[in-house]
Amino acid sequence: MESANHTGIAEFVLLGLSDDPQLQPLFFGLFLCMYLVTLLGNLLIILAVSSDSHLHSPMYFFLCNLSFVELCLTSATIPKMLVNIQAQRKDISYRGCLTQVHFLMIFAGMDNFLLTLMAYDHFVAICQPLNYMVIMNPQLCVLLVLLSCLIMFWVSLLHILLLKRQTFSTGMTVPHFFCELSQLLKATSSNTLINIILLYLVTTLLGVFPVTGILYSYSQIVSSLMRMSSSVGKSKAFSTCGSHLCVVSLFYGTGLGVHLSSARTHSSQGNMIVSVMYTVVTPMLNPFIYSLRNKDMKGALGRLLSRAASCP
* Band of pLDDT at residue 7, cut at 50, 70 and 90: very low
Tell me the pLDDT tens digit for each residue of 212-229.
999 999 999 888 888 877
Residue % of the chain over a pLDDT of 90: 36
pLDDT at site 175? 82
User: Three-state DSSP class for 188?
Assistant: coil
User: Residue 169 pairs with which residues in a beta bridge?
Assistant: 3
Cβ count near 161 (within 10 Å): 11
pLDDT score of 242 more than 50? yes
CA angle 210, 212, 218 (to 5 degrees): 100
pLDDT at site 73? 92
Tell me the pLDDT tens digit for each residue of 252-276.
887 776 666 655 555 566 677 777 8
Q: What is the mean pLDDT of residues 44-63?
A: 88
Amino acid at 140: L
* Band of pLDDT at residue 5, cut at 50, 70 and 90: very low
- For the ranges 163-172, 278-287, 290-299, which has the lowest average pLDDT? 290-299
DSSP conformation class of 186:
H
* Band of pLDDT at residue 289, cut at 50, 70 and 90: confident
- For the ranges 25-39, 189-203, 254-268, which has the lowest average pLDDT? 254-268
DSSP conformation class of 293:
S
Q: What is the mean pLDDT of residues 170-178?
A: 80
Tell me the pLDDT tens digit for each residue of 62-78.
999 999 999 999 999 99
Tell me the pLDDT tens digit for each residue of 113-146.
999 999 999 999 888 888 999 999 999 999 999 9
pLDDT at site 8? 45
- Closest listed residue to residue 162, CA positions, set 154, 173, 150, 170: 154
pLDDT at site 99? 93
Tell me the pLDDT tens digit for each residue of 79-88.
999 998 888 8
pLDDT at site 136? 93
pLDDT score of 295 more than 80? no
In order of 79, 83, 191, the CA distances from 283 in angstroms are: 15, 20, 35
Kindly report each contact of residues 24-32 with a partner whose C-beta sits within 8 Å and lies 24 or more positions away, as own/partner.
24/85, 24/88, 27/85, 28/82, 28/85, 28/86, 31/78, 31/81, 31/82, 31/280, 32/82
Phi–psi pair at 91, nearest 5 degrees: -85, 155
Cβ count near 25 (within 10 Å): 11
Average pLDDT, the chain: 84
Which position has the higher pLDDT, 281 or 6?
281
d(CA 181, CA 164): 12
In order of 24, 44, 226, 263, 307, the CA distances from 312 in angstroms are: 40, 20, 51, 56, 10
Please classify residue 263 by burial: count the beta carbons closer than 10 Å to its beta carbon, then call 0-12 exposed, 13-18 middle and 19+ buried.
exposed
d(CA 297, CA 243): 12
Estimate the share of the chain in helix, then strand, then coil, as percent rounded to the nearest 5.
80, 5, 15
